[in-house]
Amino acid sequence: MLILIFLALVLAVVFTIETYSAYKDIKNGSIPENLQGLSEGNFFNPDLSNLRNILETLDDPSLGSPNAPITIVEFGDFECPFCRESFTIIRELESLYKGRIRLIYRDFPIVDIHKNSLLAHVAANCANEQGKFWAMHDKIFANQDDMLEADLKKYARQIGLDENKFNSCLSSNKYNKEIVEDLNNGVKLGVGRTPTWFMNGYKIEGSITLDQWKDLVEKIPVGK
């Protein structure tokens, strides 16, 4: 209960009514503000020398080579419908640019509006213990309307996890600190909605199309 209250307080600071407006714009097909003027390279770029150490972590789930020239970090919420829209697109992008892209997933459950999200994030971290984070990630998004504890245990069984280890992990608090750390890092980086992406440090918000991602891959600076 304390962890839920803490998460709600953290996110209440950054998740405002403007977020809902932005979601509607993205859903209606408006170009996210960060992508307007893309040809001129108008990205928001944080001070990477100070922030990359809290952005591109080594202990969070990832896909692709650590030496890939492009790193995409997602701050996502398993109960967010726009994250669900994005997950197949970003996986296709990684497949298309195999060797050029590394994906890193960071937890950002918005618990004040997504009551089932926190447990889903715990479940994904527990699956990661057994080397099957992405299998659980995909399973949760494919069944986003069914995210109760019994559902998560069923998904663990379906993807071949050791059920006893998973169930014990799910009922523990061992990943609360990890999730709060991701949330705090996201807040420091200006994350206020999901999904929020950082592509080589350049901030992109919302669910965008595969063609927009391709355009970004071709234009994004790759210098470290």
Q: Is residue 168 part of a domain?
A: yes
**Mean pLDDT for the stretch of residues 45-51:** 58
Q: Is residue 89 part of a domain?
A: yes
Q: Which residues pair with 70 in a beta bridge?
A: 101
> Model confidence at 201, in pLDDT bands (50, 70, 90)?
confident
Token readout for 198 is 């950082």
Q: Cα angle at 84 between 80 and 86, to 5 degrees?
A: 115
Q: Is residue 13 part of a domain?
A: yes
Q: Is residue 170 part of a domain?
A: yes
Mean pLDDT of the chain: 81
**Mean pLDDT for the stretch of residues 168-187:** 91
Tens-digit pLDDT profile for residues 94-112 = 999 999 999 999 999 988 8
Residue 13 sits in which domain range? 2-219
pLDDT score, position 221: 76
Q: Is residue 53 part of a domain?
A: yes
Tens-digit pLDDT profile for residues 113-156 = 888 899 999 999 999 999 999 999 999 999 999 999 999 999 99
> Model confidence at 19, in pLDDT bands (50, 70, 90)?
very low
pTM exceeds cut of 0.95: no
208/85 Cα distance (integer angstroms): 9
Q: Is 145 left (phi over 0), alpha (psi -120 to 50) or beta?
A: alpha
Q: What is the CATH number of the domain that holds 197?
A: 3.40.30.10
Number of H helices, E strands in the chain: 10, 5
Q: Is residue 224 part of a domain?
A: no
Rg (CA), the chain: 17
pLDDT score, position 33: 46
pLDDT score, position 7: 56
Q: Is residue 42 part of a domain?
A: yes
Query: How many distinct structural domains can be found in the chain?
Result: 1
Asked if 130 contacts 161 with a C-beta cutoff of 8 angstroms, the reply is yes
Asked if 220 contacts 47 with a C-beta cutoff of 8 angstroms, the reply is no
Token readout for 39 is 């040809």
Q: Is residue 71 part of a domain?
A: yes
